[in-house]
């Protein structure tokens, strides 16, 4: 007499089996790897614009939404933005599946990894939604979005505490990025055995610099969100573009902005390398 797996007949078991089948497909792997390309393009645009500002060659500080608008304004911008949006959707879906399954064909995730995957999926899904809004012509300016969102949250019961917790979470993300960069924890996610010595060397350098740069900007965003909660002043909250602008306004601001912007470009290069070498 055969013994049936009871979980396979439940809705959750069926959904999990479907998700596992999708994740093993070659089409899904292509879509997920395209996501790393899209992530690299977005951070590359942010970093390059900030470098141009730092050296006095034009440029500006912007965030992910601003980077998407910059792409849309290039020759064949709509086509490019469609491709970027598809990649972002693939990346978000890949992260959601890791959160659901707790593993991929080439690795197993811890509970912390699954929570991080869920948060990443939500974040990149939101960026993909902005790209779709731009394509449909309904995307509004992102100016003031962090302060507007903070103002809304501060009006809720216990709002200052909620905003403060959000800021603390951002600082936690920054510390995790710093840990990933300094410990080179990212290597466990990559097919390093398929890299040449030269590629491995530059991969480590780009990933380390990129994670540290992201730690700086996420940390600044978190600090100013907490400041907005403490002072009950939503105008003090900033996004990624605001964090870069804060660097530019410090002593030796051009140098600080240039260093962090170069780190974001390094993160873009790391993302492009991950399109080839990441364990999916």
Average pLDDT, the chain: 88
**Residues 32-48: pLDDT tens digits?**
999 999 999 999 999 99
Q: Three-class SS string for 57-83? A: CCCCCCCHHHHHHHHHCCCCHHHHHHH
Q: How confident is the model at residue 146 (pLDDT cuts 50, 70, 90)?
A: confident
Residue 78, C-beta contacts closer than 8 angstroms, at least 6 positions apart: 72, 135
Domain parsing of the chain, residue ranges: 17-277
pTM attached to this predicted model: 0.88
Query: Cα separation of 60 and 262, whole Å?
Result: 14
**Residues 68-87: pLDDT tens digits?**
999 999 999 999 999 999 99
């Amino acid at each position: 007499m055969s013994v049936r797996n009871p979980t396979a007949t439940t809705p959750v078991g069926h959904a999990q089996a479907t998700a596992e089948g999708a994740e093993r497909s070659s089409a899904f792997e292509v879509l997920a790897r395209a996501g790393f390309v899209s992530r690299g393009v977005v951070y590359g645009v942010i970093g390059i614009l900030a470098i141009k500002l730092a050296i006095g060659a034009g440029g500006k500080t912007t965030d992910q939404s601003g980077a998407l608008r910059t792409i849309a304004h290039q020759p064949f911008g709509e086509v490019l933005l469609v491709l970027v949006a598809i990649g972002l959707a693939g990346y978000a879906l890949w992260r959601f599946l890791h959160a659901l399954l707790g593993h991929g064909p080439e690795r197993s995730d811890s509970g912390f990894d699954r929570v991080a995957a869920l948060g990443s999926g939500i974040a990149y899904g939101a960026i993909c939604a902005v790209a779709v809004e731009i394509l449909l012509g309904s995307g509004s300016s992102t100016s003031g979005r962090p302060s507007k969102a903070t103002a809304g949250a501060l009006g809720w019961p216990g709002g200052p505490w909620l905003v403060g917790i959000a800021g603390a979470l951002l600082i936690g993300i920054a510390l995790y990025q710093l840990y990933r960069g300094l410990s080179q924890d990212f290597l466990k996610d990559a097919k390093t055995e398929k890299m040449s010595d030269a590629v491995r060397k530059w991969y480590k350098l780009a990933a380390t610099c990129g994670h540290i740069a992201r730690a700086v900007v996420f940390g600044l965003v978190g600090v100013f969100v907490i400041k907005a909660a403490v002072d009950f002043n939503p105008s003090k909250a900033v996004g990624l573009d605001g964090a870069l602008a804060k660097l530019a306004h410090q002593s030796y601001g051009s140098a600080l902005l240039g260093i962090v912007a170069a780190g974001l470009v390094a993160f873009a290069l790391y993302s492009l390398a991950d399109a080839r070498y990441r364990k999916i």
